[in-house]
Amino acid sequence: MRLASRLAESGAMQKVGIAFVLVLAACAGEPQGPAGDPATGAIDALIAARRFRAALAEVDSRLVPAPGDVVLLDRRVRVLRELGLEHQACAAALELRRIAPSDARFAYEAGELAAYLGETAAAHEQFAAARALDPADWRPAVGEAALLLAEKSPRLAEAEALLKPWVDGPGARVEARFHHALVVEAKGDAQGALAVFERALELDPRHVASLCNAARLAEAAGERPRALDLLRRASSTVALDDEPLHRELERRIAALAAPPPR
């Protein structure tokens, strides 16, 4: 998904100011139409073929007689996101919230879009609603923690409290550990942060943001071979179409692999 893949190419390689990674394909857990429903089936086929303009036209035509259809509105949010029309997607997500106020998925998605657009007050409101509606979903807690960390004066204690249930134990999630590492680093403990980034990699060895930031801290600590290994792992993991991040990783790998100046 477009928004989930935006790793802040520079932020992933610099001191985390914060690498604002809001997690996930927003289409995860999207509502489904009835089995064999030709309406959603046709739309999903267009989405699968990446014919997003055609999918949007199909959704909009089917919404004319059914403007409150939750399944169609959810598809509309997804297609607008794929087209890069995030403001329209956010408006559609908020309409979904109005129609289905007890559905935590829509609250989370509205929060994610608002956060992406820099509308932090709305994002906090939607993430809090999502957490209240579904305490078992880790995504709103991590999203809200990321917002707190991205503030000019990061609210570290609040962020840490939100992340705590998802850092250890059976509910542990890689994104929670990643953001917890940012908290630890913001407290001034670079070595502790490096250890937490590597704990995140225990959950997902291909988590690019953790690989990049662990490499950054390892390099700063003078551990060039360790940093080089982490960067090479990141480079082999990054989506092939993410050319800017690929170039940045290759630049860093070349710099680390070169003999140190005499």
Task: Give the chain's radius of gyration (CA, Å).
Answer: 20
Given a cut of 60, whether residue 247 has pLDDT beyond it is yes
Residues 6+ apart with CB under 8 A from 155: 148, 149
Mean pLDDT over the full length of the chain: 85
- Tens digit of each residue's pLDDT (9 = 90 or more) over 200-240: 999 999 999 999 999 999 999 999 999 999 999 999 988 66
Query: How many CA atoms lie within 13 Å of 48's alpha carbon, on the beta-carbon side?
Result: 6
**pLDDT at site 123:** 94
Q: Are 176 and 202 in contact (CB under 8 A)?
A: no
The per-residue pLDDT for range 124-169, each reduced to its tens digit, is 999 999 999 999 999 999 999 999 998 889 999 999 999 999 999 9
Predicted pLDDT at 241: 62
Domains and CATH numbers, the chain: 2-30+85-257 (1.25.40.10)
